[in-house]
A and B are shown apart, each in its own frame.
Chain A
Amino acid sequence: MGKGEPHIDNTIRLLRFGRDMTQAELAEMVGVTRQTIVAIEQNKYSPSLEVAFRIAAVFKLPLGEVFQYRPDEA
């Protein structure tokens, strides 16, 4: 929710589908609302570091495989 477009992409949706997991289930495991998971997947919200680590822990993957930083195009 900072200025301009968010620069963090994620593969949460693909990872969920691969594990047959719903948004509600992921939200319950991470400790946020389903709407927050929806917003993260749609790149409308960048989660805090703690929530990002929790999401990565759910999928048992390193943080960099779940979230990717997209630098500004110079």
Chain B
Amino acid sequence: MSYKEWNAGILLVASLLISAWVAYDATYGGTFVAPMSHLAQTLIYAILISIGFNIVAVIVVTIVVGIARREQFKDERADERDRAVAAKSMRNAYFALSIGGAATLAVLAWGPGGNLGVYALFAALMLANATDSASRLYYYRVG
């Protein structure tokens, strides 16, 4: 796997882990019934933790894969294929985010609203991120 494929895989894992943690916290941690501002802060922290996880994971993978391959494992300058993969993946992520955004509005308009709307927005963001990462892996591995 290339550096970009590893990066996409790490981002996908991070999205899934953070989403699972937020779902667990909503179910058992009591944030579902907390004030909306407290919930929003919790979700912002979750996003920041995800960013931190990504940075640490990329560093660890770079070192480990470099040791395993006995050569420096680093990113290469993007070429036309990388740009094409990125463009298609971001397009897919845009579709996912659009659907998630519409679902959030629907929850706020006709659903219970409130905290569920905040969770729906967070889920839309995580879904878009996961869609982008999964798309990149698919286009790199399968074509």
Interface residues of A (CB under 8 A from B): 1, 6, 31-33, 35-36, 39, 42-45, 47-48, 51
Q: How far is the CA of A43 from the CA of B143 in the complex (A)?
A: 8
Q: What DSSP secondary structure best describes chain A's contact surface?
A: loop
A33 pairs with B76, CB closer than 8 A: yes
- By beta carbon, the residue of chain B nearest A31 is B79
Q: Number of contacts between A and B (CB, 8 Å)?
A: 35
Interface size on B, residues (CB 8 A): 14
Q: Which 10 pairs show the lowest CB-CB distances between chains A and B?
A: A44-B143, A32-B79, A36-B81, A35-B2, A33-B76, A33-B79, A45-B81, A36-B79, A48-B80, A45-B143
Q: How far is the CA of A33 from the CA of B140 in the complex (A)?
A: 13
Task: Give chain B nearest CB distance to A26 CB in angstroms.
Answer: 13
Q: Does B84 make an interface contact (CB < 8 A)? A: yes
A33 pairs with B82, CB closer than 8 A: yes
B2 pairs with A39, CB closer than 8 A: no
Q: How far is the CA of A36 from the CA of B85 in the complex (A)?
A: 11
Q: How far is the CA of A47 from the CA of B80 in the complex (A)?
A: 8
17 pairs, CB–CB < 8 Å, chain A vs chain B: A1-B84, A1-B85, A1-B88, A1-B139, A1-B143, A31-B79, A33-B76, A33-B82, A35-B140, A36-B80, A39-B81, A39-B143, A42-B143, A44-B142, A47-B80, A47-B81, A48-B80
